[in-house]
Structure 1
Amino acid sequence: MSIEIKNLVQAHLQMWSELSHTKRLALANNIYAANIEVIDPEVILNGRAEVSDFIGSLLKQYPGFEFTIAKPIETHHNRAILSWQFGPRTKPDTITGQDIFTISDGYITSILVFVNGVTK
């Protein structure tokens, strides 16, 4: 597994639990391409600021929740998949899912989000 890709994915997960808007944007600048696209079951996000704002709203909606890794990160050919869980420390797997990443030039360029139990 590419250490660089694994580190990007881990930084992504850290960002999604960061409460500070300023810190989230600083992380986003280091891990996401400027034109990052996140396709979630509920919304499509474009750009670092829009992603950060969405995370802020999500964390306000679920106070005390944080994202953690549920299974080892898998990678190949500038792609990665992360199985995650989102919940309080007492029940970290309250919500679970997978993110599929595309990486280019050392930045995450797109994320396809699957939330277990949410279908369209």
Structure 2
Amino acid sequence: MIDDLIGKYLDIWNERDAAARDLLIKAVLTDDSVYSDPDYAGLHGHAELSEAIGRAQENFGDLVFTLGTLIGAHHDTALFTWRLGAPGSDAPVATGYDVVEFADDRISRVVGFFG
């Protein structure tokens, strides 16, 4: 389940259509979810995250996120690596780590770190 949920979370970041992205967000993240990374101190809820992803995608061009390694998971928390690169390429242009917390079979909090 954790692998699937993290995969769907990365699908959110790769979805270019805002309406489709919003549907994914509602399915994967809790209504009161919180997201933070070095660029954002804390995005609250679905709309703020979707808007930030849309802005980020303008800079990404055709780059996509892929799962690196699920480093570990216990209780309601998981740590994984991700890669951002050209589709099908093994050479990422950026990497990072995310810590995710779960609630009610969805993600409730994401704390991202750039590699």
Q: State whether TM-score is above 0.5.
A: yes
User: Gapped runs of 5+ residues in structure 2?
Assistant: none
- Partner in structure 2 of residue 88 of structure 1: 86
Q: CA deviation at 1:104?
A: 0.9
Matched, 1:33 2:38: no
1:1-120 alignment runs, 5 A limit: 4-43=1-40, 44-72=42-70, 74-89=72-87, 90=89, 92-116=91-115
Q: CA deviation at 1:72?
A: 3.5
Q: CA deviation at 1:73?
A: 5.4
Distance 2:9 2:81 in 1: 12
State the aligned residue count: 113
Q: CA deviation at 1:57?
A: 0.8
User: Gapped runs of 5+ residues in structure 1?
Assistant: none
CA offset digits 1:14-41 (Å, max 9, x no partner): 1111101001100011110111100111
Q: CA deviation at 1:61?
A: 1.1
Contact 1:68 / 1:92 at 8 angstroms: preserved in 2?
no
Structure (1/2) with the larger strand percentage:
2
The Cα RMSD (Å) is: 1.3
Distance 2:101 2:75 in 1: 9
- The runs of at least 4 consecutive aligned structure 1 residues that moved more than 2 Å come to 89-92
Q: TM-score, normalization: structure 2?
A: 0.91
